[in-house]
Amino acid sequence: MKLNIEGLLVYFPYDYIYPEQYSYMLELKRTLDAKGHGVLEMPSGTGKTISLLSLIVAYQKAYPLEVTKLVYCSRTVPEIEKVVEELRKLMDYYAKQTGVKNDFLALALSSRKNLCIHPEVSSLRFGKEVDGKCHSLTASYIRAQHHSNPSQPVCQFFEEFDAVGRQVPIPPGIYNLDDLKDFGRRKGWCPYFLARYAILHANIVVYSYHYLLDPKIADLVSKELAKKSVVVFDEAHNIDNVCIDSMSVNITRRTLDRCQTNVETLQNTISRIKETDAAKLREEYRRLVEGLKEANVARETDIYLSNPVLPDEILQEAVPGSIRTAEHFVGFIKRFLEYLKARLRIHHVVQESAPQFLKDIYEKVCIDRKPLRFCAERLRSLLRTLEIADIADFSAITLISHFATLVSTYSKGFTIIIEPFEDRTPTIANPVLHFSCMDPSIAIKPVFGRFQSVIITSGTLSPLDIYPRILDFRPVTMASFTMTLARTCLCPLIVGRGNDQVAMTSKFETREDFAVIRNYGNLLLEMSAIVPDGIVAFFTSYIYMENIVASWYEQGILENIQRNKLIFIETQDAAETSMALEKYQEACENGRGAILLSVARGKVSEGIDFVHHFGRAVIMFGVPYVYTQSRILKARLEYLRDQFQIRENDFLTFDAMRHAAQCVGRAIRGKTDYGLMIFADKRYARADKRGKLPRWIQEHLTDGSLNLTIDETVQLSKHFLRQMAQPFRRVTTRTFLSLFNDLNQA
């Protein structure tokens, strides 16, 4: 189908388009026209991805000088693959319609673990091992050694790529991870480095958030992307947490012990090299004295060790004299390490800001701010000089050096919290130093600054205005789209009371209340009797779920539920959970139906879709507030209040509601799908909570569906399910859609 969107010819690979897709494209085009940033919300299952792709590709084709590249960031590998498949469909459609052979280059990029084809390296199980092994085969000095000593093993795929791969551009086309591997195998080139090299001139790049947001990775991968790129963050409702995680550092006693061994290794290596090859150290020293930047040519493979974001003017400066020679630097690291060890030997919680920390460190071990700032850079240089191949072992010392650099670079937006033990186990000493980032805008600022358009989009972004505030940017468009439906296929209900009129809530004071737990049990029991196929129930936390399930068992509720459906439980163990999930789906396929008990913010709530009969009802037991007693959270809330004028309660409610919306949104994954959304807490009925739900859910919340009892819920659900059970004819939607199309084309 061809569309005319404000004068832009857009090819859309489907025969029908939903009105909301049309308006989504419209907003998107305006954002691109304005060369600004946008925040767009559209429910999942309405074809967000294809709308995005077809509009931006059309824009690229129409104005090749205005938008040179699309960078599409997604969260997981399956999602990346899905995007590439949609793109393939679109490009095929283009080729069919225009008759011109596709000249676009689009590719997916992932970690070495997913792209490596070296038989030995790719058989390793963990990402870190793969990276380390790869580094030990491809680092520039290893390759230099290989020249003089051919028995030194190197990766022949990389050698091949390095020899010819750069001159021959990868032919245009759509490459997902498997395609890249195939291509690499055919040519004998390393797909990972090929992809990393090819993103520089690709038209479309699909990769994970971290390649842009994590400063340690972004520096290597995305450094040279052009300003005229459009960046899309899909499923971005958690983007602030990703930003924060990428800048935070946690240091435990174990990290320090490992770091200690690293330091010893360094020391030994230095003294060994001094005896055998002192010229090497002298050469490094000379370079540092002259403040020369490393020549970046042919160093592509070394940058596994990278430094966190630093202001450029510091990088231009020479390394301070006190850490110039290798011995001095090792001594410096040792002092820093001992200082950290001493700090971790505490009996009460300490919270301080970065300046306080720096002052204390100067008083205790005479470490200035400046050498600290250069710590990561200096360590990188040293490791390279010492030619230590097995870099994976040095993760601890690298982490410490990153911490040193970050703590001395940023005086604001970070806090240091040292806890002697975990909250749950106050008797067991397990000291942790959290260097916690509180300001997500620090990590994402370079992205907004560098690219002309950044689009943040997801199915659940409400309330929209909070994202620009916490990420500190100025969007030109903010829009929330709802779903147009041929039939009301979602039915949100807020259950506030049990049949005995006791209020149902997971509020802290009443969560242990016997009546509340019984009512929750009754609700699940009643629903299990009337809902066909699968039911997914979400609790607020693992502990709460354990408590409730235990007392349901004692009350015999569990047994009654099991008469209707099988019960599966999500646990903290990933393998167990995926097993439970598999069996749950099997039970749903068998027609008997099943119940999956899981936890908001858990694995199930974030990445797993329950299409059609896998999820006919979602029950949200309680409001999924984050654990408010955590000190890191408290510090962050305080920071938000001071810097962004966002009150604690507003943020907590916002956070709880986005997770609740994320959970209940799992059931509706398309327009032919249908499902009940039951919010079992009386607090959902309040305007401040209800108002923070996405618009497409709010629209279906009538006054009649607030504060219901269990009986009323059952009645409404029965009615809804009976309606949905009527044969659904595509014709109704079709007439509606073609009518819309006529209007549009006229």
Is the Cβ of residue 185 or residue 647 nearer to other proteins in the bound state?
Answer: 647
Residue 274 found at the interface with other proteins (CB under 8 A): no
Residue 265 found at the interface with other proteins (CB under 8 A): no
First to last CA, the chain: 14
Is the Cβ of residue 344 or residue 600 nearer to other proteins in the bound state?
Answer: 344
Residue 317 found at the interface with other proteins (CB under 8 A): yes
In the DSSP assignment, the letter for residue 683 is: G
Candidates 268, 271, 356, 735: give the one binding other proteins (CB under 8 A).
356
Residue 446 found at the interface with other proteins (CB under 8 A): no
User: Order of strands, edge to edge, in the sheet holding 229-233?
Assistant: 173-175, 105-108, 204-208, 69-74, 229-233, 453-458, 37-41, 475-480
Residue 448 found at the interface with other proteins (CB under 8 A): yes
Candidates 185, 201, 272, 359: give the one binding other proteins (CB under 8 A).
359
Of the candidates 628, 709, 618, 626, which has an alpha carbon nearest to the alpha carbon of residue 664?
Answer: 618
- Output the smallest distance, CB 341 to other proteins, in A: 5
Contact letters for other proteins, residues 382-421 (x by CB under 8 A): -----------------------------x----------
Residue 339 found at the interface with other proteins (CB under 8 A): yes
Candidates 106, 358, 386, 637: give the one binding other proteins (CB under 8 A).
358
Stretch that binds other proteins, among 205-213, 358-366, 395-403, 598-606 (CB under 8 A): 358-366
CA distance 83 to 85: 5
Residue 507 found at the interface with other proteins (CB under 8 A): no
Of the candidates 502, 467, 478, 462, which has an alpha carbon nearest to the alpha carbon of residue 689?
Answer: 462
Stretch that binds other proteins, among 117-125, 441-449, 528-536, 718-726 (CB under 8 A): 441-449
> Between vectors from CA 354 to CA 430 and to CA 384, what angle results, nearest 5°?
80
Strand-pair partners of 350: 418
CB contact at 8 A, 205 and 70: yes
Residue 573 found at the interface with other proteins (CB under 8 A): no
User: CB 35: neighbour CB atoms within 10 A?
Assistant: 14
CA distance 294 to 308: 17
- Output the smallest distance, CB 367 to other proteins, in A: 10
What stretches of 168-252 show up as alpha helix (H) in DSSP? 177-187, 191-198, 210-213, 215-221, 239-247
Contact letters for other proteins, residues 485-504 (x by CB under 8 A): --------------------
Residue 450 found at the interface with other proteins (CB under 8 A): no
**Helix 140-148 × helix 127-138 angle, to 10°:** 40
Q: How far is CA 266 from CA 86, 88, 261, 342, in A?
A: 49, 49, 9, 22
Q: At CB < 8 A and 24+ separation, what contacts does 317-322 make?
A: 317/291, 318/288, 318/289, 318/290, 318/291, 319/288, 319/291, 319/374, 319/377, 319/378, 319/381, 320/368, 320/370, 320/371, 320/374, 322/368, 322/371
Candidates 168, 297, 366, 574: give the one binding other proteins (CB under 8 A).
366
CA distance 128 to 395: 9
Candidates 172, 173, 188, 320: give the one binding other proteins (CB under 8 A).
320
Candidates 146, 196, 280, 334: give the one binding other proteins (CB under 8 A).
334
CA distance 174 to 159: 25
Cis check: omega of the bond before 463, within 30 degrees of 0: yes
Strand-pair partners of 479: 40
- Output the smallest distance, CB 95 to other proteins, in A: 42
Residue 364 found at the interface with other proteins (CB under 8 A): yes
Candidates 469, 583, 613, 634: give the one binding other proteins (CB under 8 A).
469
What's the token pair of residue 251? Answer: 């240091």
Strand-pair partners of 480: 41
Strand-pair partners of 418: 350, 433
# binding residues, other proteins (CB under 8 A): 52
Please report, as a single letter, which amino acid is at residue 344: L
Residue 322 found at the interface with other proteins (CB under 8 A): yes
Contact letters for other proteins, residues 642-661 (x by CB under 8 A): xxxx-x--------------
Residue 331 found at the interface with other proteins (CB under 8 A): yes
Residue 318 found at the interface with other proteins (CB under 8 A): yes
What's the token pair of residue 152? Answer: 């030194």
CB contact at 8 A, 634 and 686: no
User: CB 539: neighbour CB atoms within 10 A?
Assistant: 25
**Tokens 């049309």, located at residue:** 22
Is the Cβ of residue 599 or residue 724 nearer to other proteins in the bound state?
Answer: 599
Candidates 35, 228, 287, 369: give the one binding other proteins (CB under 8 A).
369
Candidates 429, 486, 502, 530: give the one binding other proteins (CB under 8 A).
429
Stretch that binds other proteins, among 25-33, 150-158, 368-376, 555-563 (CB under 8 A): 368-376
Contact letters for other proteins, residues 232-261 (x by CB under 8 A): ---------------------x--------
Residue 289 found at the interface with other proteins (CB under 8 A): yes
Candidates 164, 342, 349, 550: give the one binding other proteins (CB under 8 A).
342
Is the Cβ of residue 441 or residue 733 nearer to other proteins in the bound state?
Answer: 441
- Output the smallest distance, CB 548 to other proteins, in A: 16
Stretch that binds other proteins, among 86-94, 138-146, 172-180, 320-328 (CB under 8 A): 320-328
Which residues are at the interface with other proteins (CB under 8 A)?
253, 289, 317-325, 327-328, 331, 334-335, 338-339, 341-342, 353, 355-356, 358-359, 362, 364-366, 368-370, 411, 425, 427-430, 441, 445, 448-449, 468-469, 472-474, 642-645, 647
